[in-house]
C-alpha cells in the first residue's frame, strides 16, 4: 500500500506516521528532527527537559527555556515536529504548553491523564492541540470541556492497551476484547465524524508496514508509534536500554501497577529492568528527590508524591526513567518501558531505514503483520 499523507491543522505530513513522545529523555530533538525531516511527525517528550538540557549544555535551564530550545532544535531540519506533554506532570504543565506554543510547535499531544484545560492555557495559534484517549468516554468528556473553552481538538490519538509507557486503562480492563485497538477505533471514528471530522491517529502495538496499512484500511488517518523509534540510532535511550529491548522476550514485557507509577496509571515495563527487580524485592529505600509527578495538597500546592510517601507501592519513576536515559545513574537504577510488541525488535536501525521500511518503500527484512501475534 502506498501510504497517504496526513493533514493536521492545515499542515501536510508526507507520511502518516507520528513518532510518539517518549519520556524521560528517550525522544529528544535528535530523534524528533530526524523523523520530521524524513516526512513523519517528530515528537519531543517534555518530561524533565529542564534537567536534561541543564546536563546536556552544562548551564542551568528553567522549564520554559528548555522546552523552547528543544522544540526549536526539533524543527531545525524542517518538517513537522511537536511535543508530548503529560497531564500527570502537573506542576510544569501550563508553562510547558506556553513555551511550546511560543516556540511554534506544530502540535501538542497530551495524555497521561485527561488534558481538560489544554485549550484554555494560551491561544494556540498554529499549534494543533491533540488529546490522547483510550476510550470513547474520555473523548466525550474532553469534547464537552473543550467546547466550553471554544475549541475542538485538531486530531485525536487513540491509544490501545499494547502501548509503551503509561496506559489509560484499569489493569483489569487491559485484556478485554472491547479494548483491543481495532475495537476501540470504530466508535471513536463515528463520534469524530459527527463532531467536525478530525484525523484519528491510532497507537499501541503497531509494528510493521502491514500493521499501518491494516489500520488505515479500517479508517484510521495515521499511526503513532513509540517502540520502533526507541530502537533507532537517533533515539536518546542508552545502548543498554536498546539492548534490553532487543533481548526482551514476549513474557518479559508486563504491565505493572503495584509497584507502579506515582500517577496511578498502569505502566508497561521490561520486568528485568534493574529498578523493577529491586522494587519487587522491596530492597529500595525512598530516593525520590525530583517530584515531577506530584498531586496537589489541601492548599493547592504540588507537594504530594506517591513514591515519597510509599516507595514500596510506587516507583520513583522520575529517577528510574532519568537513569534509563543515562542521567543520575548514581541515584537510581534504570527502569525500562517499551510497548508489548517490543519483543519483536531485533536490531537498532536508523530513522531513515525505519521510515523507508514503514512506508513500504524498502522490503522489510521480515514482512509481517502483528495481527495474530
Ligand atoms: C519508552 C517509551 C516512553 C513513552 N513515554 C510516553 C510519554 O512520556 N508520554 C506519552 O503520552 N506517551 C509515552 N509513550 C507512548 C508513546 O508515545 C506511544 O503512544 C506508544 O509507544 C505507542 O505504542 P508502541 O510502543 O507499541 O508503538 C511512551 C512509549 C515508550 C515506548
- Model pLDDT for residues 163-185, shown as the tens digit of each residue: 999 999 999 999 999 999 999 99
- The confidence band for 279, taking pLDDT boundaries of 50, 70 and 90, is confident
Q: What is the pLDDT of residue 259?
A: 84
Q: Check if 164 has its Cβ closer than 6 Å to any atom of ligand 1.
A: yes
- The confidence band for 287, taking pLDDT boundaries of 50, 70 and 90, is low
48 versus 283: the higher-pLDDT residue is: 48
> Using an 8 Å Cβ cutoff, are 299 and 317 in contact?
no
Q: Is 282 left (phi over 0), alpha (psi -120 to 50) or beta?
A: left
- Does residue 143 surpass a pLDDT of 80? yes
Q: What is the pLDDT of residue 198?
A: 97
Q: Which residue out of 21, 88, 253 has the highest number of ligand 1 atoms within 8 Å of its CB and is therefore the one to mutate?
A: 21
- Does residue 304 surpass a pLDDT of 90? no
What CA–CA distances, in Å, run from 369 to 4, 212, 230, 250, 354? 19, 9, 19, 16, 16
Measured CA to CA, the distance from residue 278 to residue 275 in angstroms comes to 5
Q: Check if 82 has its Cβ closer than 6 Å to any atom of ligand 1.
A: no
363 versus 67: the higher-pLDDT residue is: 67
Q: Check if 110 has its Cβ closer than 6 Å to any atom of ligand 1.
A: no
Q: Check if 21 has its Cβ closer than 6 Å to any atom of ligand 1.
A: yes
Q: What is the pLDDT of residue 292?
A: 76
Measured CA to CA, the distance from residue 239 to residue 107 in angstroms comes to 29
**The C-alpha cell that represents 342 in the structure block:** 517490543
Q: What is the pLDDT of residue 367?
A: 55
CA 299 – ligand 1 centroid, Å: 33
Q: What is the pLDDT of residue 285?
A: 65
- Does residue 319 surpass a pLDDT of 80? yes
Measured CA to CA, the distance from residue 293 to residue 90 in angstroms comes to 7
CA 163 – ligand 1 centroid, Å: 6
What average pLDDT does the segment 135-148 reach?
Answer: 98
Helix 209-217 to helix 181-194 angle (10° resolution) is: 40
Mean pLDDT of the chain: 93
pLDDT tens, position by position, 327-367: 888 888 999 999 999 999 999 999 999 999 999 986 665 55
pLDDT tens, position by position, 185-229: 999 999 999 999 999 999 999 999 999 999 999 999 999 999 999
- The confidence band for 301, taking pLDDT boundaries of 50, 70 and 90, is confident
- Does residue 147 surpass a pLDDT of 80? yes
Which domains are assigned to the chain? 6-237+344-359 (3.20.20.70), 240-340 (no CATH)
- The confidence band for 43, taking pLDDT boundaries of 50, 70 and 90, is very high
Q: Percent of the chain scored above 70 by pLDDT?
A: 95
CA 72 – ligand 1 centroid, Å: 22
Q: Which of 54-68, 159-173, 235-249, 290-304 has the lowest mean pLDDT?
A: 290-304
Q: What is the pLDDT of residue 361?
A: 83
Q: What is the pLDDT of residue 351?
A: 98
Q: What is the pLDDT of residue 309?
A: 78
Q: Check if 159 has its Cβ closer than 6 Å to any atom of ligand 1.
A: yes
What average pLDDT does the segment 18-37 reach?
Answer: 97
Nearest atom in ligand 1 to 20's CA:
17
Q: What is the pLDDT of residue 363?
A: 65
Q: What predicted TM-score, i.e. pTM, was given to this entire model?
A: 0.95
Q: Check if 317 has its Cβ closer than 6 Å to any atom of ligand 1.
A: no
Q: What is the pLDDT of residue 366?
A: 53
Three-state SS across the chain? CCCCCEEECCEEECCCEEECCCCCCCCCHHHHHHHHHCCCEEEEECCCHHHHHHHHHCCCCCHHHHHHHHHHHHHCCCCEEEEECCCCCHHHHHHHHHHHHHCCCCEEEECCCCCCCHHHCCCCCCCEEEEEECCHHHHHHHHHHHHHCCCCCCCEEEECCCCCCECCCCHHHCCCHHHCHHHHHHHHHHHHHHCCCCCEEEECCCCCHHHHHHHHHCCCCEEEECHHHHCECCCCCCHHHHHHHHHCCHHHEEEECCCECCCCCCEEEECCCHHHHHHHCCCCCCCCCCCCCCEECCCCCEEECHHHHCCCCECCHHHHHHHHCCCCCCCCCCCCCCCHHHHHCCCCECHHHHHHHHHCCCCCCCCCCCCCC
Q: What is the pLDDT of residue 365?
A: 58
- Does residue 373 surpass a pLDDT of 70? no
What average pLDDT does the segment 36-40 reach?
Answer: 98
Amino acid at each position: 500500500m502506498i501510504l497517504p499523507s496526513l493533514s493536521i491543522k492545515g499542515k501536510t505530513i508526507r507520511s502518516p506516521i507520528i513518532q510518539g513522545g517518549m519520556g524521560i529523555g528517550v525522544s529528544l530533538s535528535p530523534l524528533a528532527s530526524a523523523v520530521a525531516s524524513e516526512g513523519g511527525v517528530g515528537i519531543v517528550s517534555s518530561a524533565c527537559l529542564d534537567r536534561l538540557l541543564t546536563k546536556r549544555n552544562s548551564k542551568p535551564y528553567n522549564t520554559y527555556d528548555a522546552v523552547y530550545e528543544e522544540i526549536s532544535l526539533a524543527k531545525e531540519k524542517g518538517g513537522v515536529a511537536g511535543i508530548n506533554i503529560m497531564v500527570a506532570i502537573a506542576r510544569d504543565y501550563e508553562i510547558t504548553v506556553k513555551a511550546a506554543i511560543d516556540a511554534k510547535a506544530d502540535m501538542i499531544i497530551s495524555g497521561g491523564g485527561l488534558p481538560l484545560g489544554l485549550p484554555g492555557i494560551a491561544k494556540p495559534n498554529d499549534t494543533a492541540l491533540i488529546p490522547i484517549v483510550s476510550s470513547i468516554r474520555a473523548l466525550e468528556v474532553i469534547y464537552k470541556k473543550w467546547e466550553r473553552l471554544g475549541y475542538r481538538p485538531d486530531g485525536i490519538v487513540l491509544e490501545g492497551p499494547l502501548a509503551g509507557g503509561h496506559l489509560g486503562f484499569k489493569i483489569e480492563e487491559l485484556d478485554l476484547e472491547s479494548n483491543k485497538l481495532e475495537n476501540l477505533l470504530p466508535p471513536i471514528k463515528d463520534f469524530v465524524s459527527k463532531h467536525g471530522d478530525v484525523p484519528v491517529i491510532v497507537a499501541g502495538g503497531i509494528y510493521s508496514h502491514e500493521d499501518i496499512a491494516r489500520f488505515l484500511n479500517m479508517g484510521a488517518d495515521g499511526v503513532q508509534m513509540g517502540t520502533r523509534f526507541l530502537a533507532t540510532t537517533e533515539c536518546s535511550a542508552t545502548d543498554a536500554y536498546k539492548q534490553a529491548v532487543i533481548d526482551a522476550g514476549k513474557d518479559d514485557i508486563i504491565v505493572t501497577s503495584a509497584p507502579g507509577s506515582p500517577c496511578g496509571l498502569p505502566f508497561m515495563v521490561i520486568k528485568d529492568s534493574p529498578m523493577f527487580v529491586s522494587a519487587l524485592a522491596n530492597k529500595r529505600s525512598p530516593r525520590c528527590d525530583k517530584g515531577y509527578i506530584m498531586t496537589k495538597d489541601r492548599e493547592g500546592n504540588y507537594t504530594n508524591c506517591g513514591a515519597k510517601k510509599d516507595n514500596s507501592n510506587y516507583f520513583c519513576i522520575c529517577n528510574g526513567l532519568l537513569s534509563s536515559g543515562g542521567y543520575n545513574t548514581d541515584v537510581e537504577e534504570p527502569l525500562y518501558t517499551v510497548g508489548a510488541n517490543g519483543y519483536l525488535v531485533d536490531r537498532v536501525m536508523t530513522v531513515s531505514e525505519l521510515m523507508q521500511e514503514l512506508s513500504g518503500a524498502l522490503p522489510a527484512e521480515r514482512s509481517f503483520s502483528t495481527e495474530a501475534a
